[in-house]
Amino acid sequence: MRILACVTFLINIALPTSAQLKEETCEKLKNIGKFYENPESSSLQSAKLFLSYQHQIGYIDGADQRGKNFNDDFEEFRRFWMGISGKWGSYWKFKVVSQLSNDRHNYPASKGGAYRQWGHETFRAANITFDADKFWDFENIDAMEIGYGRRTGRMADEWQRSSTMINCLERSSFSNKLWLYDKEKGNPLAAWVKWKAGTNTFDAAVFSGTYDDYIGGWKDSKVYYGSWLGDFSERSSYQLHEYWLSYYKQDGNLNQDQLAGGNDWALSLVNRIGDGSWAFHSTLAFGNNGDQANADREGDFGGLVLMPMYWLKEDKLKLVGRYLFQQSDQKEGLQLNSRYAPLADSRDSAIDLNNGRGDKHHAFYLGLNYYLCGENLKLITGIQHDELSSHGANQYRGWTLGSSFRIWF
């Protein structure tokens, strides 16, 4: 597996430009899911199938809190999602996306269940939106939508981009900690209003902590969320210059289903700048873990993610770096949820990573992305080094190497 991962990395570097697909072929790929369009209809006006397929390999080499060295390798259907989106009448849009593979946890059969399962697992999205600005024609509003259903509660820069548009092999542990996930690590039910006025975009939402495989209800915790995105690109010397401020507060208790692992609140500031072949994204955030069954997992936390990017060949070959630092007040206030360390821990009872928990975490990532058809067809390869500690004692230190083939339309 190590050889295969390294070979994939070298292919990403050496793959000749002659192998790139023609522009018209890429356009066909992007539009392959469109199967119905009738703008004049009073009912269904358009419909498009969605598919996202990602196959991934990984290798990890590290040491646990006792200094025991371990390594493991992985091969998985990282994502296999299918869905449909479309427009109904003049004002309504709908979107439904189902996760159809259960490789996400990737535990061996001895841990319960088959190694790989197929079939509907959970909905990644299931919502309807109403074009309020088109209906009411607000004078000072450029766009406004009112929505209801399952959607993402984004906080960090890495979650502002969907999994199909991701820059790194995996999102950082800190961005996932801020994410408003439900107890099955999916997107929750919400009601929201989103509007744009000039260079400002606002999003106000109420999320439900109640987990249900379909739409669910509102009997458990509530999360009140608000965000502002300011695009200053036109007034800046940079081609890209954006700020994104977001905040949420959770109202719930330990006896209820909660979001984001029970976080009480979180505040995040994202900055994105770029010009020509380079871009730099950053996330600075703080929060509180809320009430937990284990007091060692409570208290405040904070962190920083810096992501520089550079096009080695415009729109084809991108170099991506990332630095992560996060810390917490309590000795188990953070959890390492980078993909493969927890999986290696679950496979081998001799490994002790303290469930990937600690109070200080550093991580460095370097990756290379090759785009055959823009974001719709690409190869992502990256290597990451993690150091997790608790009260100054090492919990995990190691390297992860991975590569992923990704296609979507």
The pLDDT score that the predictor gives to residue 123 is 85
Smallest CA-to-CA distance from 378 within 13, 49, 12 is with: 12
**Strand partners for 311:** 318
| Tokens 């209003």 -> residue | 193
Rounded Cα distance, 403 and 5, in Å:
6
With contact defined as beta carbons under 8 Å apart, do 240 and 231 qualify? no
- Helix (H) or strand (E) run with residue 173 in it: helix 173-178
pLDDT digits (tens, 9 = 90+) for 244-256: 999 999 999 999 9
Domain that residue 59 falls in: 2-408
Counting as low any pLDDT under 70, the low residues of the chain are 1-21, 102-115, 338
Task: Yes or no: say if 146 and 120 are a contact pair by the CB < 8 Å rule.
Answer: no
User: Residue for token digits 């109904």?
Assistant: 88
Q: Cα separation of 35 and 93, whole Å?
A: 16
At residue 343, the pLDDT reads 82
Per the CB < 8 A criterion, the answer to whether 373 and 406 are in contact is no
Number of domains in the chain: 1
Q: How far is CA 31 from the centre of its chain?
A: 24
Task: Render pLDDT for 180-208 as a digit per residue (tens, 0 to 9).
Answer: 999 888 899 999 999 999 999 999 999 99
What are the beta bridge partners of residue 397? 63, 387
Q: How far apart are CA 364 and CA 328, in angstroms?
A: 19
**Could you tell me the CATH number of the domain that includes residue 86?**
2.40.160.10
pLDDT of residue 119: 78
CA dist 363 → 174, 331, 381 (Å): 10, 18, 16
pLDDT at 21: 67
Per-residue confidence (pLDDT) for residue 23, from 0 to 100 = 84
| pLDDT at residue 13 in the model | 47
CA angle 168, 172, 175 (to 5 degrees): 120
| Residue type (1 letter), 188 | P
Q: Which residues pair with 206 in a beta bridge?
A: 191, 224
Given a contact cutoff of 8 angstroms between Cβ atoms, the answer to whether 191 and 145 are in contact is no
